[in-house]
Chain A
Amino acid sequence: METAHIYVMGSAYLGAGIAIGLGAIGAAVGEGFCAGFASRASARRPQASSDVVRNMLVGQAVAESAGIFALVIAVLLIFLDHHIGETTAKSAALIGAGACMGFGAIGSGVGSGFPAAGACEGLARQPKMAGSLTTNMLIGSAVCQTPAIFSMVVAFMLMFLDFSKAPVSPTWAALLGAGFSTGLAAIGSGVGGGMAAGASTQGIARQPLTLGATTTAMLVGQAVAQTPAIFGLLVSFILMFKTFPESSTLTASFALLSAGLCMGFGGIGPGIGNGMTAEGAVTWVSRSSEATGVLTRTMLVGQAVAQSTAIYAMVIALVLIFVV
């Protein structure tokens, strides 16, 4: 095996380990959380336990998908023959792909567990609402999966795009940064989206009549909670598709790596914070639906402020890419 091939395959194996190692965290936590609530719900109302278990399995299957995305990326990294493009840039791209998918699956896996747990608990409280609860859970957890899907898209691009035309330095750093940006930022959005959805499933079990208002509030809250992941995706795309002039200095490379890390880490907190805000608002929309207007307004104002640090992180990332 020639040296260049050894480096690329070595990076692919490293990326595969990172992808499934980190990617297994979220789905397992989310599913365990759901199973805990399902046990409690079955204990509270044993005659509803078959519905509860069925709902638990459906909810866990959705939470599992984040782990399955990571498995797919890991298997592809191991078995594909990655001999395209210049060695250093391709190696960095493959490690970036693994990190992107691994980190990106954490939030969605944990987040999807919240609506599944809420629906199991709700089934014991309101067995007649089984259909609405499962539907609401599926909508909520599907939105939770979007950050993991963003991460998978970026991981696929890093694996399959041909970066051999671009100058090795600083492209390697840009590709590694692209992986970190979407992957890390997806953690917050996944967890945050899940908190909103969990409040929604619990809320409609308590107050079945507010199904429409509660679902709407959940979707608005989740949409705002997704923004940090979208910022992360934007920075990743810029890092992947902008052509950087060749430069052998460390400065040029580290500026791009730093941009990816900045946006990635910076997206975690605002994503979770937006989810906490949405959780509070959705819970109270379901309990006092006449306050829906003022609650939605307060939620959006609160989320806008919580979003500010993600915007600072994006500004610094863009300065690092375009100004430095």
Chain B
Amino acid sequence: MAVGIEGADIVRAAALLGAGIAMGLGAIGPGVGEGFAAGKACEAIGRNPQEAGLLTRTMLVGQAVSESTGIYSLVVALLLIFVV
């Protein structure tokens, strides 16, 4: 009985640690990638300010795709916290 409770505690603790690591590390890539996209968009707008609308739209689409792995991390973290 006591062993059973301990085992469940270890599994739950590991799931929560995994959730934090998943979201924490998973946030690095999208942050850098989206920032890179936005920096290049600013550069392009600086060269050609008339196309600001098109460039902002392209930037946002690119960032949305880059965001996807961050959302995967969020989903996995939430699963580890609330479902597992």
Contacts and interface: CB of A to CB of B under 8 A. Distances in A.
Interface in B15-61: 16-21, 23-43, 45-47, 49, 52, 55-56, 59-60
Interface stretch (A2-10, A29-37, A143-151, A264-272): A264-272
Contacts, number: 208
A178 B55 CA distance: 40
B40 to A, nearest CB: 6
B45 A316 contact: no
Interface stretch (A58-66, A76-84, A111-119, A288-296): A288-296
A241 interface: no
Nearest to A228: B31
A313 B77 CA distance: 10
Interface stretch (A49-57, A154-162, A278-286): A278-286
A319 B18 CA distance: 14
A259 B39 CA distance: 30
A251 B13 contact: yes
Contacts of B55: 298
Contacts of B77: 262, 316
Of listed B10, B26, B27, B37, residue having the most chain A CB within 10 A = B27
Interface stretch (A90-98, A133-141, A300-308): A300-308
A302 B35 contact: yes
Nearest to B10: A250
A309 B31 contact: yes
Nearest to B5: A249
B31 A262 contact: no
A269 to B, nearest CB: 3
A22 interface: no
A253 B13 contact: yes
A2 to B, nearest CB: 31
A305 to B, nearest CB: 5
A320 interface: yes
Contact of B35 (A267, A273, A313): A273
Contact of A262 (B23, B32, B35, B70): B23
B38 A312 contact: no
Contact of B41 (A228, A298, A323): A298
Given A266-B23, A320-B16, A291 B49 contact: yes
10 contacts: A265-B21, A265-B25, A278-B39, A284-B46, A294-B49, A298-B59, A306-B63, A309-B28, A309-B73, A316-B81
Given A288-B47, A302-B37, 19 more contacts: A253-B13, A257-B20, A266-B26, A268-B27, A274-B35, A277-B35, A277-B38, A280-B38, A280-B40, A280-B43, A283-B43, A284-B43, A291-B49, A295-B42, A302-B42, A303-B35, A305-B64, A309-B28, A316-B78
Interface of A: 184, 188, 192, 228, 249-251, 253-255, 257-281, 283-285, 287-288, 290-291, 294-295, 298-299, 301-303, 305-310, 312-313, 315-317, 319-320, 323-324
Interface of B: 9-10, 12-14, 16-21, 23-43, 45-47, 49, 52, 55-56, 59-60, 63-64, 67, 70-71, 73-74, 77-78, 81
Identify the 10 closest CB pairs spanning chains A and B, nearest first: A273-B35, A302-B38, A284-B46, A269-B31, A258-B20, A265-B24, A280-B39, A269-B28, A270-B31, A262-B20
